[in-house]
Amino acid sequence: MYRLFFLVHVFSLTLLLSGYVSARGTGDLGIVIERATGGVQVIETSTNSSLGRIEGLGDLSHASAVYSRDEQFAYVFGRDGGLSKIDIINKKLVKRIMQSGNSIGGAISQDGRLVAVSNYKPGGVKIFDSKTLALVADIPARYGNDDLLSKVIGLVDAPGQKFIFSLWDAGEIWVADLSDANKPQIKKFKNIGKNPYDALITPDGRYYIAGLFGEDGMAMLDLWNLDKGVKRILDGYGKGEQKLPVYKMPHLEGWAIAGNFAFVPAVGRHEVLVINTQDWSESGRIKVHGQPVFVMARPDGRNVWVNFAVPNNDKLQVIDTQSLAIIKTLTPGKGVLHMEFEPRGGQVWASVRDEDRLAVFNTDTFEQLVTLEAKKPSGIFFTSRAHRTGL
Amino acid sequence: MKKMFFVVSLLTMQTAAPIAFAEVGTARQNELLYFVKHDCGSCHGMTLKGGLGPALLPQTLSTQPESYLVNTILEGRKNTAMPPWKSMLSFDDATWIAKQLQQGLIQDTQIAESNKSAGKP
C-alpha cells in the first residue's frame, strides 16, 4: 500500500515538473496596476497575499486590464498606447506591442478571440487577435466631414461579438459588429450629447449608457432595440445648480447596478444619482463626502461603495441600497484610487496610492483585514472579470 | 529613490538660484511635483504627454505667456474639462508649476525616475 502511494506521488510530481499539470488554478488571482513602475503585482485572494510582479509594461498611468477566458492571461492597456499580454501563472510578459500614441482602455470579445483598444491618439479603436496580438481591424473615429478624429472612451464588449464605444469630441456612440472580424459592420448614433466621458453596459449586456461631461444627463442605447435609437436619461439632473469644478473624471462600470437601481456618479456634484432601471427615471440622490469617481455595487447588490476625487480621495463611503443611507465612512488613507470586490463579495480590495499599499476590508464588518505593500497602486482587476460582459 | 531626490534637489537649486520669484519651499515643491504627476496626470498623462487633456510639454508650453498658463491652472478653461485649481493651489504654486512645465523640468524628473525603476541608466 505504501509503495502504491509512493508511486502515485512520484507520478504526480513528474506530471507537475513536466508541465502537464498546472501548479494552481487562477480563480482567486488578480492583478494590481503599479503605475509608477510600469508593472503589475499578481495577488491572490484566498490568503490575501502577493505572488510577485510582472514589469516592463510602459506608462501605466490610467491603465486597465481584461482577462482571457481561461484566466491565464491578462491584457493590459497602457496610457502610452502599449498593449501587453501577460501570463499571470508564470508571471511573465508574453508579448507587448505599441499600437497607438495614447490609449485609454480596452475590452475582450464574447468569444475571447479579439481584444479591442480605444485610443485618444490617433482617435479610434484597434482590434487585435488575442493569441498573437496581430492587428485584425482598424476603426478610425472619423467625424465632422470625416476629416477629424475623435478621442474614444467607454469601450465595452457586448453579446453577438460586438464592441460598443463613444466618441468624446464628436458626441457619438458606435456599435461595431465583429462577427466577421475582417469586415467590421459599424452602426453610428450621432448627436447623443456633448462630451461622453465614460460608459457602462448593464451586466445582462442589454443597455449601454454613456455619461455626459458637457451636459447634465446620460445617453442610453437599448441593444435589443437598436432601431429605437439613443434615449436621453436623467436629463438636466443639475438644472439651476452651480456645478463644482471636476477634479477627476468619474468612471462608470456595469456593476453599479443593484437590484432595480443603478447608482452613478453625478458629474461636478457631491452626489450619487439613483436610477430606477424599470423606466430609467431618477429615483433619488445621495449626498456623499466628495465628487464620486467609482460607484460600485457589492456583487450581491446590498451595498454600494464609493470613492472620491482629489482632495477628498482619502475616504470610502458605503451606501445601503435598501434605505439609500450612508452606513459607513472609512478612511483607508490618501489617494484611494480604485476598489475591487471578490466575486462573492466577502472582501473588497482598495488601492491607496499615496501610501503605497493595498487595503483589504471585510464588507460586512468593515474591518481592515490586511494591508499589502504596492508601488503607487491604481486599478485592481480580479480574474472573475473573464466571465462578465462589459468587464 | 535617491536619484529622484537628487533630481528634485537639482531642480530646486536651479529654480532657486537665478530666478527670484514666488516663495515655494522645498517641501511644497515636492508636494507640487507629486500633484502634477498624479493629479494633473490623470488627464494629461503621468509623463505629461497628454490624455483627455493636451500634452504639457515644453515644446508647446514654452512659447505661451506664463501668465496665461498660471491663469489656466487657477481659473480653468471654460467649455473644456480643465477645472479651476485655485481651491488647492495658490498663485505662487501655480507660477512655480507653470515655470517647471515650460522648462520641461518636471518631465525630466519623471523620466529619471521611470528609468531608474526600469533598471536603465
pLDDT band for position B19 (50/70/90)? very low
Shortest Cα distance from A55 to chain B (angstroms)?
8
Q: Return the CATH superfamily for domain B2-117.
A: Cytochrome c-like domain (1.10.760.10)
pLDDT band for position B111 (50/70/90)? very low
Please give the Cα distance from A262 to A252 (Å, whole number). 11
- Does B76 sit within 8 Å of A245, measured CB to CB? yes
Please give the Cα distance from A238 to A216 (Å, whole number). 6
pLDDT band for position B38 (50/70/90)? confident
Residues in chain A: 391
- Does B83 sit within 8 Å of A247, measured CB to CB? yes
Average per-residue pLDDT in chain B?
78
Residue with cell 480643465: B82
Task: Give the model's pLDDT for residue A95.
Answer: 97
pLDDT at A37 over 70: yes
CA distances from A371 to A41, A48, A355, B10, B62 (A): 14, 9, 11, 35, 43
Task: Give the model's pLDDT for residue A12.
Answer: 53
Pick the CATH number of A99-247 from 3.30.70.580, 3.40.50.10890, 2.130.10.10, 3.40.630.30: 2.130.10.10
- Does B83 sit within 8 Å of A61, measured CB to CB? no
Digit-coded pLDDT (tens) for A255-269: 788 889 999 999 889
Q: Which three cell numbers stand for residue B50?
A: 497628454
Contact A37, A28 (CB under 8 A): no
Please give the Cα distance from A125 to A137 (Å, whole number). 8
Task: Give the model's pLDDT for residue A6.
Answer: 57
Per cent of chain B over pLDDT 70 is 69
Mutate which: B4, B30, B38, vs A, most A CBs within 10 A: B38
Task: Give the model's pLDDT for residue A1.
Answer: 53
Mean pLDDT of all residues in B27-49 = 90
Beta bridge partners of A222: A207
Residue with cell 443597455: A207
Contact A280, A220 (CB under 8 A): yes
Task: Give the model's pLDDT for residue A139.
Answer: 97
Edge to edge, the sheet with strand A172-177 lists A152-158, A162-167, A172-177, A185-189
Digit-coded pLDDT (tens) for A328-386: 999 999 999 999 999 999 999 999 999 999 999 999 999 999 999 999 999 999 999 99
A196: helix, strand or coil: strand
Please give the Cα distance from A144 to A174 (Å, whole number). 15
Residue closest to A299 by CA, chosen among A359, A253, A257: A257
Q: Return the domain boundaries, chain A.
A: 99-247
How much is the pTM? 0.87
Contact A319, A327 (CB under 8 A): yes
Poorest-pLDDT segment among A87-101, A172-186, B99-113: B99-113
Q: Which three cell numbers stand for residue A126?
A: 484597434
pLDDT at B16 over 80: no
Residue closest to B9 by CA, chosen among B98, B113, B109, B90: B109
Contact A247, A212 (CB under 8 A): no
Poorest-pLDDT segment among A5-9, A50-54, A248-252, B110-114: B110-114
Per cent of chain A over pLDDT 70 is 93
Q: Which residue has the higher pLDDT, B13 or B34?
A: B34
Contact A75, A115 (CB under 8 A): yes
- Does A36 sit within 8 Å of B114, measured CB to CB? yes
Q: What is the ipTM of this complex?
A: 0.79
Task: Give the model's pLDDT for residue A8.
Answer: 53
| Backbone φ and ψ of B21, nearest 5° | -150, -155
Q: Return the domain boundaries, chain B.
A: 2-117
Which of A102, A197, A247 is facing B51, going by the closest CB pair?
Answer: A102
